[in-house]
């Protein structure tokens, strides 16, 4: 059976439909009256603000090496521009059009939308690549959506990105660490490949500073052309959207629990306001699931008018069918409530939204190079983000935005702009990638915004002690190059390589996989005791990593037999497993303070006070020496995912690091 759907006919796509009792069923095909179909999609395409600029965009791309396109969210930049380029022949002769996104979910979502608009199957003419998932076919794919991180990795095999004719760096205003690196590298590539066209697009951009960055000649030399007759002066195009006005409402008093406030506000909107969908901005999966659960419970009471609510979560990691539900039309008489991370701020457009509830927070990465602590913390958003969030309410008609913070706070305290991720991240992965691309002078690299020198030096120090960089700050052979090729945290990569020598690759790969997800434990409000009991069943004396392995093995076994045979196995292997972990994470060693009453440890590297996190199986066990996976700070600095070690292994694993022989920072 062919998996194609015929343009103009019903295509398989889940949609929300009322059942007779007022509940909601999920059908896999839309009802006959559906507005889907090729002709309709074509009309929708032409109605998008960007359509009026089609000729202008194609003209600018033809004659300029770099075009900066600024346009409101939903104006059609991401889905339309790659199609215009293809229609104009930029994908002919085996060339490819690339469009990068900072987020994986956005990559999948826009790619499938574009495939649908073009009436083709995803993964063929229109494809996408995210880490660990490649849905493209060589020689067939013409438009490729990918994360900016994946494009960076592609440079390792093809440093000049020769297969692409046009690269669109989308959502540039987000200033993700990979976007910033990409822009610096693309500027270099353009010097070697003047025929390569760049499009930098975003919802809000300091277009002027971006343009200055790409300007290769002085400003008064504006009409300069290169040898190919291309204008080297970047051109800026602003797409005028037709956003409707949005009325802003603030809370009168600061709220103490924004999750509860968000829920209450949704209920209030449903009671008091006219029809129209609601988009709620919270910060992360756990919080979003909690809010969804409360609202779903309300909505399940068929006798109350809250039964008209359709509540859906939106965060990365959702299944495809859940994603599709977000974009499907809201059935008559219902009000869709989407509770989202800041992915809906600019990356994805939801059509029917009239009301926005803005918590004022998002999850952001913060790094302190002195203490070497990187945290994903819930932090206040910027005014620029708040404005974007409000704008999402004005797409269909005039809307309302309910801000869960005071006007006073907004005016006086909220920062105007966010800080680029580059300036608040651990740079270990970025440095190794740049090194692998042959960028030797990292501090002198052409950054859009320079990273802090302390973070850079710290990263170089870690890579040196891992044996990934040599004393001249060059990648070592083979270790450094091997680590650079694995698309994981270099410390995890090093652990995997060491496991190969120690003969425990299978176990370490399992552990690496578990460590790459946020948590394998599901915490349900008010059910902590049950979780603790279950954890005890899996707990291994060696620590959390081995416990994870137990869980995984138990999981594999559970389908087959109730006899869980993981225990002996663990005792046998635990030693080598821990040594392999140490090979990557030796710089995360801590020693229990000798007379500590409260389980205080000091990190070996800089005598930082740290504690074992209560979620760890070693909490209260307090072995003398431990190695942790990450540090999380709340009231104290907590070590997450902890394993007990023998201190003699430290010197074995990293003699340079523990004899405190350090590279001279001056040579970097």
Count of residues that bind ligand CDP according to CB under 6 A? 16
Q: Which is nearer to ligand CDP, 117 or 542 (CB)?
A: 117
Among residues 143, 146, 80, 137, the alpha carbon closest in space to that of 107 is found at: 146
Q: How far is CA 267 from CA 140, 260, 396, 468, in A?
A: 49, 11, 21, 54
Position among 78, 232, 426, 550 found at the interface with ligand CDP (CB under 6 A): 78
Q: Which is nearer to ligand CDP, 283 or 349 (CB)?
A: 349
Contact region for ligand CDP (CB under 6 A) — 73-81, 279-287, 447-455, 645-653?
73-81
Position among 75, 179, 232, 465 found at the interface with ligand CDP (CB under 6 A): 75
Using CB under 6 A, which residues numbered 331 to 370 contact ligand CDP?
A: 349, 351
Q: Which is nearer to ligand CDP, 74 or 490 (CB)?
A: 74
**Which structure tokens are listed for 433?**
């990638």
Q: What are phi and psi of 633, to 5 degrees?
A: -105, 125
Residue at shortest CB range from Mg ion: 78
Position among 16, 67, 68, 79 found at the interface with ligand CDP (CB under 6 A): 79
Work out what residue 75 binds among Mg ion, ligand CDP, none; the CB cut-off runs from 5 to 8 Å by kind.
Answer: ligand CDP
Using CB under 6 A, which residues numbered 405 to 434 contact ligand CDP?
A: none
Q: Which is nearer to Mg ion, 78 or 179 (CB)?
A: 78
- SS3 state of residue 101: strand
Other beta carbons less than 10 A from residue 218's beta carbon = 8
Work out what residue 451 binds among Mg ion, ligand CDP, none; the CB cut-off runs from 5 to 8 Å by kind.
Answer: none
Among residues 11, 27, 228, the alpha carbon closest in space to that of 122 is found at: 11
Q: Which residues pair with 399 in a beta bridge?
A: 246
Question: Long-range contacts for 611-615 (Cβ within 8 Å, ≥24 apart)?
Answer: 611/636, 611/637, 611/638, 611/639, 612/638, 612/639, 612/642, 613/638, 613/639, 613/640, 613/642, 614/638, 615/519, 615/521, 615/640
What is the binding site for Mg ion (CB under 5 A)?
78
Q: Let me know how long the chain is.
A: 668
Q: DSSP for 207-257? A: HHHHHHHH--S-GGGTT-B-TTS-B-S-EEEEEPP-PPPEEEEE-SS--S-
Q: Does 74 sit near ligand CDP (CB under 6 A)?
A: yes
From residue 37 to residue 56, the character string flagging contacts with ligand CDP as x (rule: CB under 6 A) and all else as - is: -----------x--------
Q: Does 100 sit near ligand CDP (CB under 6 A)?
A: no
From residue 272 to residue 311, the character string flagging contacts with ligand CDP as x (rule: CB under 6 A) and all else as - is: ----------------------------------------
Q: Can you state the angle between helices 104-118 and 38-47, rounded to 10 degrees?
A: 120
576 CB burial (10 A radius; 0-12, 13-18, 19+): middle
Position among 54, 64, 77, 270 found at the interface with ligand CDP (CB under 6 A): 77
Position among 76, 82, 360, 391 found at the interface with ligand CDP (CB under 6 A): 76
Work out what residue 369 binds among Mg ion, ligand CDP, none; the CB cut-off runs from 5 to 8 Å by kind.
Answer: none
Position among 73, 425, 465, 547 found at the interface with ligand CDP (CB under 6 A): 73
Q: Which residue has the tokens 């009409």?
A: 223
Q: Does 113 sit near ligand CDP (CB under 6 A)?
A: yes
Among residues 550, 544, 546, the alpha carbon closest in space to that of 640 is found at: 544
Q: Is the peptide bond before 478 cis (omega within 30 degrees of 0)?
A: yes
What is the binding site for ligand CDP (CB under 6 A)?
A: 48, 71, 73-80, 109-110, 113, 327, 349, 351
């Amino acid at each position: 059976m062919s998996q194609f759907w015929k343009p103009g006919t019903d295509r398989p796509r889940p949609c929300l439909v009322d059942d007779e009792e007022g509940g909601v069923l999920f059908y896999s095909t839309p009802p006959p009256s559906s507005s889907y179909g090729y002709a309709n999609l074509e009309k929708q395409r032409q109605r998008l603000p960007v359509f009026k600029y089609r000729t202008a965009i194609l003209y600018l791309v033809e004659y300029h090496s770099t075009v900066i396109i600024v346009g409101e969210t939903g104006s059609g930049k991401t889905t339309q521009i790659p199609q215009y380029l293809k229609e104009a022949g930029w994908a002919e002769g085996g060339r490819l059009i690339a469009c990068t996104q900072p987020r994986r979910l956005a990559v999948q979502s826009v790619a499938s939308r574009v495939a649908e608009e073009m009436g083709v199957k995803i993964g063929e003419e229109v494809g996408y690549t995210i880490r660990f998932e490649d849905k493209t076919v060589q020689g067939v794919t013409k438009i490729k959506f990918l994360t900016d991180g994946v494009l960076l990795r592609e440079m390792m095999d093809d440093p000049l990105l020769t297969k692409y004719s046009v690269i669109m760096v989308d959502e540039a205003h987000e200033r993700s660490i990979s976007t910033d690196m990409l822009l610096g590298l693309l500027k270099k590539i353009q010097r070697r490949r003047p025929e390569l066209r760049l499009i930098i697009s975003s919802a809000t951009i300091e277009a002027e500073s971006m343009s200055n960055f790409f300007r290769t000649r002085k400003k008064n030399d504006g009409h300069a052309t290169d040898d190919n007759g291309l204008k080297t002066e970047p051109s800026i195009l602003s797409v005028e959207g037709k956003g409707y006005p949005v009325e802003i409402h603030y809370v009168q008093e600061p709220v103490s629990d924004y999750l509860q406030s968000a829920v209450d506000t949704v209920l209030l909107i449903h009671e008091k306001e006219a029809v129209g969908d609601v988009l709620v901005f919270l910060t992360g999966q756990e919080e979003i699931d909690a809010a969804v659960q409360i609202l779903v419970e309300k909505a399940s009471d068929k006798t109350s008018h809250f039964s008209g609510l359709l509540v859906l979560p939106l965060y990365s990691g959702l299944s495809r069918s859940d994603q599709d539900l977000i974009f499907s039309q809201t059935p008559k008489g219902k009000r869709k409530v989407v509770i989202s991370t800041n992915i809906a701020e600019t990356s994805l457009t939801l059509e029917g939204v009239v009301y926005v509830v803005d918590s004022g927070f998002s999850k952001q990465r913060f790094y302190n190079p002195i203490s070497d602590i990187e945290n994903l913390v819930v932090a206040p958003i910027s005014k620029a983000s708040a404005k974007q969030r409000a704008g999402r309410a004005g797409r269909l008609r005039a809307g309302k935005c309910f801000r869960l913070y005071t006007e006073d706070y907004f005016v006086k305290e909220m920062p105007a702009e966010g800080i680029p991720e580059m300036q608040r991240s651990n740079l270990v992965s970025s440095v190794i990638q740049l090194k692998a691309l042959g960028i030797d002078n990292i501090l002198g690299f052409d950054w859009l915004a320079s990273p802090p020198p302390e973070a850079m030096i710290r990263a170089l120090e870690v890579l040196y002690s891992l044996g990934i960089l040599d004393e001249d700050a060059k990648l070592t052979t083979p270790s450094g190059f091997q680590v650079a090729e694995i698309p994981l945290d270099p410390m995890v990569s090093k652990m995997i390589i060491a496991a190969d020598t120690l003969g425990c690759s299978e176990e370490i790969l399992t552990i690496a996989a578990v460590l790459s997800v946020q948590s394998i434990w599901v915490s349900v409000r008010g059910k902590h005791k049950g979780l603790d009991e279950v954890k005890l069943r899996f707990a291994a004396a060696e620590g959390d990593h081995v416990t994870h392995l137990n869980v995984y093995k138990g999981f594999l076994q559970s389908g087959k037999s109730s006899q869980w045979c993981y225990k002996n196995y663990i005792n046998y292997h635990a030693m080598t497993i821990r040594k392999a972990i140490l090979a990557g994470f030796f710089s995360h060693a801590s020693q229990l303070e000798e007379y500590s009453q409260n389980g205080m440890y000091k990190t070996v590297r800089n005598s930082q006070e740290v504690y074992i996190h209560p979620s760890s199986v070693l909490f209260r066990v307090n072995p003398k020496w431990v190695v942790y996976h990450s540090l999380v700070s709340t009231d104290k600095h907590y070590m997450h995912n902890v394993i007990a070690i023998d201190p003699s292994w430290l010197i074995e694993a990293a003699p340079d690091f523990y004899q405190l022989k350090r590279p001279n920072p001056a040579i970097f």
